């Protein structure tokens, strides 16, 4: 039952109010910096660029005064899976034989651990840490309201191209707003089932069909309920003359300050140096 009760409190990363410099940055600037850093992280394939990125991101986490141990604790249950996947990557990546660091032969089995495979595993683990910290940095230092407002103004250039920038932000805002309500709904479905003696957990993972039936019985009513509510919401919005994003203003306007420009400048510099490091002769 404890797991059922927690459903309504779900969110993408909890906002942790620490009042640091990072918390006070403009959400638009934060989103742009986040996007740039993600691009740099995906592009980085060498040791040096990954280490530089990790150092920078870790510095940001400390600057935001977020508890590093807490951020890492979310991956604790997945550590065995991560290790198994890393090992498989290491052993079966293949690569050219002349760059082999280690060759194991045992009867018909030949396992070659290449230089490329080691680099692949190390950089993908570093990249994982980078992205873990980056996603936490965005969601733990920005409230949902700020995030959707920031998203709307970052997407506003799309409106000029007749693409639905406002609509995209609106979809995001609706989704974030209604996750708790749907969570509550799911909770009551689960409780209704539990009270009628239809257990939710404890079934063996070999009983795939049964497990699938259980999940389907949970989410089909959820969909139908959500659709009914969305019809009601559409009526309510039409009654209030909702006409899309044109000419809408906001109650709260965020102001672009010197610190935001500085943060953006530093991020661009960091991303440029990571991309430059990619092309250096030594790795």
Partner 1 sequence: MTSYDKGTRRVITAGWLLAITLLLTLTRTGMIPVPTPAANATVSHIPAIIGGILEGPIVGLVIGLGFGFASFMSATIPLFKDPLVAVLPRLFIGVTAALSYAALQRASKRTLAVMVAIVLLFLLAFSYEVSKTIAWLGPIIAIISVAGAAFIYWWMRREDVRIVGLAVAAGVGSLTNTVLVLSVAVLRGYLSSEAAWGIGLTHGVPEVIVAAVVTVAVVAALRQIGSRRGSRL
Helix (H, G, I), strand (E, B) or coil at 104: strand
The distance of closest approach from Cβ of residue 249 to partner 1 in the complex, given in angstroms and rounded to an integer, is 19
Residue 16 or 86: the one with the smaller Cβ distance to partner 1 is 86
Residue 188 or 230: the one with the smaller Cβ distance to partner 1 is 230
State the CB neighbour count (10 A cutoff) for residue 41.
Answer: 22
Q: Residue for token digits 């409780």?
A: 191
The distance of closest approach from Cβ of residue 258 to partner 1 in the complex, given in angstroms and rounded to an integer, is 30
The distance of closest approach from Cβ of residue 122 to partner 1 in the complex, given in angstroms and rounded to an integer, is 11
Across the chain, the runs of DSSP E, i.e. the strands, are: 100-106, 109-114
Residue 93 or 254: the one with the smaller Cβ distance to partner 1 is 93
Residue 126 or 260: the one with the smaller Cβ distance to partner 1 is 126
Residue 147 or 263: the one with the smaller Cβ distance to partner 1 is 147
For helices 258-278 and 27-43, the axis angle rounded to 10 degrees is 10
Q: How far is CA 263 from CA 31, 129, 139, in A?
A: 11, 21, 17
Q: How many angstroms separate the CA atoms of 144 and 206, rounded?
A: 39
Residue 60 or 129: the one with the smaller Cβ distance to partner 1 is 129
The distance of closest approach from Cβ of residue 65 to partner 1 in the complex, given in angstroms and rounded to an integer, is 21
Helix (H, G, I), strand (E, B) or coil at 17: coil
Burial of 172 (0-12, 13-18, 19+ CB in 10 A): middle
The distance of closest approach from Cβ of residue 234 to partner 1 in the complex, given in angstroms and rounded to an integer, is 5
The distance of closest approach from Cβ of residue 215 to partner 1 in the complex, given in angstroms and rounded to an integer, is 5
Residue 34 or 260: the one with the smaller Cβ distance to partner 1 is 34
140, 64 contact by CB (below 8 A): yes
Tokens linked to 259? 């610190």
The distance of closest approach from Cβ of residue 186 to partner 1 in the complex, given in angstroms and rounded to an integer, is 7
Q: State the alpha helices, DSSP H only, in the chain.
A: 2-5, 21-24, 27-43, 47-63, 68-73, 79-92, 115-141, 144-160, 165-195, 208-239, 258-278
């Amino acid at each position: 039952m404890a797991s059922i009760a927690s459903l309504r409190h779900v969110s993408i990363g909890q906002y942790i109010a620490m009042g640091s410099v990072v918390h006070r940055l403009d959400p638009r600037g934060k989103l742009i910096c986040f996007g740039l850093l993600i691009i740099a992280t995906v592009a980085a394939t060498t040791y040096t660029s990954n280490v530089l990125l990790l150092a920078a991101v870790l510095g940001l986490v400390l600057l935001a005064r977020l508890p590093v141990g807490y951020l890492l604790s979310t991956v604790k249950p997945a550590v065995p899976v991560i290790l198994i996947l890393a090992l498989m990557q290491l052993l079966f990546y293949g690569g050219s034989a002349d760059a082999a660091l280690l060759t194991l032969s045992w009867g018909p089995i030949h396992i070659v651990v290449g230089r490329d495979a080691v680099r692949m595993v190390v950089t993908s683990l570093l990249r994982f840490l980078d992205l873990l910290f980056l996603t936490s940095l965005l969601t733990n230092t920005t409230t949902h309201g700020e995030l959707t407002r920031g998203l709307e103004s970052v997407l506003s250039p799309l409106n000029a191209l007749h693409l639905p920038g406002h609509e995209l932000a609106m979809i995001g805002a609706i989704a974030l707003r209604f996750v708790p309500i749907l969570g509550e709904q799911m909770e009551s479905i689960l409780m209704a089932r539990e009270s009628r003696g239809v257990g939710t957990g404890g079934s063996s993972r070999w009983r795939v069909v049964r497990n699938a039936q259980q999940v389907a019985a949970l989410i089909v009513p959820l969909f139908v309920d959500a659709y009914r509510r969305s019809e009601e919401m559409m009526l309510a919005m039409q009654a209030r003359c909702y006409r899309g994003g044109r000419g809408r203003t906001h109650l709260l306007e965020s102001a672009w300050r010197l610190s935001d420009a500085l943060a953006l400048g530093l991020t661009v510099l960091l991303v440029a140096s990571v991309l430059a490091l990619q092309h250096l002769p030594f790795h």
